[in-house]
Amino acid sequence: MHSQITVRPALPEDYEAVARITMDSYVTAGYYGSADHPYLLKLQDVAGRAENADVFVAERNGQVIGSVTSAPAGGDFSDIGLEDELEMRTLVVDPAVQRSGAGRALVQAVVEQARSLEGINAVSLTTGATWESANALYAKTGFGRAPERDWFVPGTDIKLFVYRLDIHGS
């Protein structure tokens, strides 16, 4: 039996844990070869991220075990969001507690946030084409592929998938 998972806005005292979990989950999964990858270093700046987007944490037994960021389209932390979308970014769960339901709870928090915002009709996100557990989670939580919006990491042949969830649908 899993303990209750609570999702709440990140506080400055959570930023260190969020940075550690982000690093651990991306490196452990093999998404980036080393901890000094420029993109990973950017993601370590949780305070900077929080200035341009909303950072949420998943907490269990008083401990931060995951995080997600939601970014308004056109903002400094949005890559692919369209005007009527809230973009979900950097969904991470501590590798020690993956498959605990934290990822699903974080996705649900972003969807609920999007539903509360005027003029937002969908949540969009980018994920690696080869990231099987992430792709499975998005499919399970109702997201559909938007293959016409797929793109490549600049300067590489790494393909990224785009997903979208219409929040006013069924």
Task: Locate the domains of the chain by residue range.
Answer: 5-125
More confident residue, 155 or 19: 19
Per-residue confidence band for 35, with pLDDT thresholds at 50, 70 and 90? low
Q: What is the pLDDT of residue 170?
A: 45
Q: What is the pLDDT of residue 32?
A: 61
Average pLDDT over the chain reads: 88
Question: Of 3.30.450.20, 3.40.630.30, 3.40.50.720, 3.10.20.30, which CATH number belongs to 5-125?
Answer: 3.40.630.30
pLDDT tens by residue, 113-153: 999 999 999 999 999 888 888 899 999 999 999 999 999 88
Q: Does residue 70 register a pLDDT over 90?
A: yes
Average pLDDT (84-112) is: 93
68 contacts: CB under 8 Å, gap ≥ 6? 55, 56, 58, 88, 89, 90, 91, 92, 106, 107, 109, 110
